[in-house]
Amino acid sequence: MGSHGATGTGRRSLGIDLHLDVGAGAGGVGRSIESALREAVISGRLPAGTRLPGTRSLADDLGLARGTVVEAYAQLTAEGWLVTATGAGTWVAETQRPPARSAPGATATTGAVRRIIDLRPGRPDLSLFPGAAWAAGVKRSLAAATHSTLDYGDPAGLPVLREAVATYVSRTRGLQAEPGAVVITSGFSHGLAMVSRALHRMGVRTIATEDPGLIHHRRLIHGAGLETLPLTVGPQGADPAGLTPAVGAVLLTPAHQHPRGVVLGPALRTAFLDWVTDRDGFVIEDDYDGEFRYDKQPVGALQASAPDRVVFAGSTSKALAPGLRVGWLVLPEPLRIPVLDAITDAGATVGAPDQLALADLLDRGDYDRQVRRARQSYQKRRAELAARLATLTDIPLDGVPAGLHALLPLASQQEEKRIVDAGLSAGLRLMGLYGAGYWHSPARGGAGLVIGYASPPSHSWRTALDALSGVLDGAEFSRW
Ligand SMILES: Cc1ncc(COP(=O)(O)O)c(C=O)c1O
């Protein structure tokens, strides 16, 4: 039976024209509409991003009970063919046609087409985002806010959020923070760019960064007119022995180095703290996933030991979602005015409704609850990943059980590339340590896979693990 979303009474506001060959086959009409839709997606007739008609609209057009269409949508959403967002509708999910030939060891193939599974680092499980709590927070806080809250605001952010952040980081990360030291940013990247500009104005010309580290962060520093100097990261973290007299600040990920996953050891912490004091320098402490430690209490922030020399930077990108673009800085006194000037000059601050909602979540404990929930999920995944890898190789994951990613060290960039390519052929996006995204000094050998085990939504975690096993099982590799 052919059917179109437009009816004799005109097109519905949310409807699209959709032809489906639906007939009562084995399994009944429900199975038939489900199969017809699946076929339309697999064949590419409904490309990724196509918005589907509402269930009521499609049921009317096909002369079916609405429940039948609801069930078909739910089944296809569970299989990953469709994506549904409450109140926003249903779309065809991103899928990939299979390559002409499968790579050796690839196991992610199911039928004619594969879903792309993303195991790149840097993303949380976005399906865990507490959408209802966030929406309630926006509603509640906007209803209580005065009109002036929506005026051009202080570049440091709304006082209510600065207070909530100061309380949160003091409680959870052991900081010495008062609300006056807090500046709300559009995520860590924005914060780093603004601190770099401020340091440049104060005469700093070189910032030392971790090697390996994120290329993106080096670019932000260069964009502010500064140079970078690499500090080799070993099993105890970045080595301060590489600091030169030209360096005015150091960017570190002390709680969980990205990408190696190591914790800055006590001796090196002390060395950096001595350096900032002796040199009147600064440390920028990137605490991007400091809430996510699985084997023990996270180490406290470096900032607590030198609040007048350490910039503490946090972000909601791991605990909530990177798309929110909200983070914070806790600034030493000498940097406060220069950073606010840099923010004013750059002309962008975080919108008031988002700031209000985050303050609401922090104050009500919803943020803590979300972190706990996500932590449990990622802890389990990290353990499952380590256990699965142990069946395939005796190379242990680098670093401590923490965060949202883990590094599997490999002997060469050729091995790394072969595995990343085999992953792609198997519908698995992997990130190589020395592929795009990370910076390293050319003299440094070694390579690796940076596995972002938090990225897949819960329903596809098992498939992701199986696909990764398949790729590694078919590959030859060794550690650096
Ligand atoms: C090392 C590191 N720092 C910070 C961040 C967070 O950046 P942003 O807050 O700009 O999303 C990430 C995200 O992947 C990261 O890997």
**107 pLDDT more than 50:** no
Q: Average pLDDT, stretch 475-479? A: 71
**ω before 298 within 30° of 0 (cis)?**
no
Q: What is the pLDDT of residue 108?
A: 41
Q: Spell out the long-range contacts of 54-58 with Cβ–Cβ below 8 A and sequence spacing 24 or more.
A: 54/12, 54/14, 54/15, 54/89, 57/5, 57/12, 57/14, 57/15, 58/3, 58/5, 58/18
Domains of the chain from N-terminus onward: 1-93 (1.10.10.10), 114-121+373-473 (3.90.1150.10), 131-364 (3.40.640.10)
Residues forming beta bridges with residue 117, ordered by sequence position: 428
Question: Ligand 1 center to residue 190 CA distance, Å?
Answer: 10
Q: In the structure, what pLDDT confidence band is assigned to residue 64 with cuts at 50, 70 and 90?
A: confident
Q: What is the pLDDT of residue 109?
A: 40
Q: Lowest mean pLDDT of 9-18, 24-33, 317-326, name the range.
A: 9-18
Rg of the chain taking only CA atoms, in angstroms: 25
Q: Which of 123, 125, 183, 189 to mutate to test the pocket of ligand 1 (most atoms within 8 A of CB)?
A: 189
- What pLDDT digit, counting tens, does each position of 320-337 carry? 999 999 999 999 999 999
Overall pTM surpassing 0.85 (yes/no): no
Q: Is the CB of 122 within 6 Å of ligand 1?
A: yes
Q: Which amino acid is at 378?
A: Y
Q: Average pLDDT, stretch 142-156? A: 95
* 259 vs 434, more confident: 259
Average predicted confidence (pLDDT) for the chain: 88
Percent of the chain beyond pLDDT 90?
66
Q: What is the pLDDT of residue 445?
A: 63
Where b means 16+ CB within 10 Å and e means fewer, 106-131 reads bbbbeeebbbbbbbbbbbbbeebbbe
Q: In the structure, what pLDDT confidence band is assigned to residue 10 with cuts at 50, 70 and 90?
A: very low
DSSP secondary structure, 134-194, as one string: HHHHHHHHHHHS-GGGGSS--TT--HHHHHHHHHHHHHHH-----GGGEEEESHHHHHHHH
Q: Is the CB of 214 within 6 Å of ligand 1?
A: yes
Q: What is the pLDDT of residue 16?
A: 65
Instruction: Please give the Cα distance from 48 to 90 (Å, whole number).
Output: 11
**110 pLDDT more than 60:** no
Check: CB of residue 294 under 8 Å from CB of residue 382.
Answer: yes
Task: Write the residue with the smallest CA distance to atom 14 of ligand 1.
Answer: 122
Q: Average pLDDT, stretch 87-103? A: 62
Q: What is the pLDDT of residue 12?
A: 35
Q: How many residues does the chain have?
A: 480
Q: Which of 123, 190, 210, 214 to mutate to test the pocket of ligand 1 (most atoms within 8 A of CB)?
A: 214
Atom of ligand 1 nearest to the CA of 190: 10
Atom of ligand 1 nearest to the CA of 253: 1
Q: Is the CB of 253 within 6 Å of ligand 1?
A: yes
Question: Ligand 1 center to residue 16 CA distance, Å?
Answer: 38
Q: What is the pLDDT of residue 258?
A: 94
Q: Is the CB of 292 within 6 Å of ligand 1?
A: no
- What pLDDT digit, counting tens, does each position of 440-468 carry? 776 666 689 999 999 999 989 999 999 99
Question: Ligand 1 center to residue 239 CA distance, Å?
Answer: 21
* 163 vs 12, more confident: 163
Q: What is the pLDDT of residue 4?
A: 40
Question: Ligand 1 center to residue 125 CA distance, Å?
Answer: 15
Q: In the structure, what pLDDT confidence band is assigned to residue 13 with cuts at 50, 70 and 90?
A: very low
**233 pLDDT more than 50:** yes
**267 pLDDT more than 90:** yes
Where b means 16+ CB within 10 Å and e means fewer, 262-279 reads bbbeeebbebbbebbeee
- What pLDDT digit, counting tens, does each position of 274-325 carry? 999 999 999 999 999 999 999 988 889 999 999 999 999 999 999 999 999 9
Q: Lowest mean pLDDT of 23-32, 77-86, 179-188, 400-409, name the range.
A: 23-32
Instruction: Please give the Cα distance from 60 to 408 (Å, whole number).
Output: 53
Q: What is the pLDDT of residue 121?
A: 93
Q: Average pLDDT, stretch 263-268? A: 97
**25 pLDDT more than 70:** no
Q: What is the pLDDT of residue 73?
A: 86
Question: Ligand 1 center to residue 437 CA distance, Å?
Answer: 12
**353 pLDDT more than 90:** yes
The phi, psi pair for 186, rounded to 5°, reads -90, 60
Q: Lowest mean pLDDT of 19-28, 48-57, 144-153, 208-217, name the range.
A: 19-28
Task: Write the residue with the smallest CA distance to atom 16 of ligand 1.
Answer: 122
Q: What is the pLDDT of residue 5?
A: 36
Question: Ligand 1 center to residue 40 CA distance, Å?
Answer: 38
3-state secondary structure 60-109: HHHCCCHHHHHHHHHHHHHCCCEEEECCCEEEECCEECCCCCCCCCCCCC
